Amino acid sequence: MSTHTPARHTEEPGDLIARLEEQERRLRLPRLDNDDAWRLGCLIADLAQERGAAVTVSVRRAGQRLFHRALPGTSVDNDAWLDRKCRVVERYGAASYLVGARFRAKGSTFEESSRLDPDLYAAHGGAFPLHVTGTGVIGTVAVSGLPQAEDHALVVEALERYLSDTATA
């Protein structure tokens, strides 16, 4: 059973941050090779396709794109969003949604206070760090095409299913 919940407009910033941090602590992989990246990417794409969601999916390890799929209804803009969100994960070692939430909790925005080029970095939901137990963050899984809370929730749901499937395999 999935324990993800899209952010609610009434959710307090501290509660959102705690929930996102808990997801990062919980959703850690035992390993990530090219085949694992393919399976995770396909799982996300399949979930999105079942829901009729027009998203682009990316799985990267150490900067190398191991999986990329653009579902019908997406555009090159989704690729640009993926790149911008993944750069945030690579720089901060945390989910793009969490990074944005931390800036908002301080009464600012990522765009106003990060001092990073918004054409290259976007702290919007949808990119999640791929943390391998015993190694650390080695990559990123990302979705672009839905509102940011839904992009993030889709990635979290897929990681939960992927980890559940791997544990029973």
> Per-residue pLDDT for the chain (169 aa), expressed as one digit of tens each?
344 444 445 689 899 999 999 999 999 999 999 999 999 999 999 999 999 999 999 999 999 999 999 999 999 999 999 999 999 999 999 999 999 999 999 999 999 999 999 999 999 999 999 999 999 999 999 999 999 999 999 999 999 999 999 888 6
Q: Where are the domains of the chain?
A: 13-164
Note every long-range contact of 26-30, with CB atoms under 8 Å and residues 24 or more positions apart, other chains counting: 27/128, 27/131, 27/156, 27/159, 27/160, 27/163, 28/131, 28/132, 28/133, 29/130, 29/131, 29/132, 29/133, 29/163, 29/166, 30/132, 30/133, 30/166
Residue 97, CB half-sphere, CA atoms under 13 Å: how many?
31
Supply the CATH classification number for the domain 13-164.
3.30.450.150
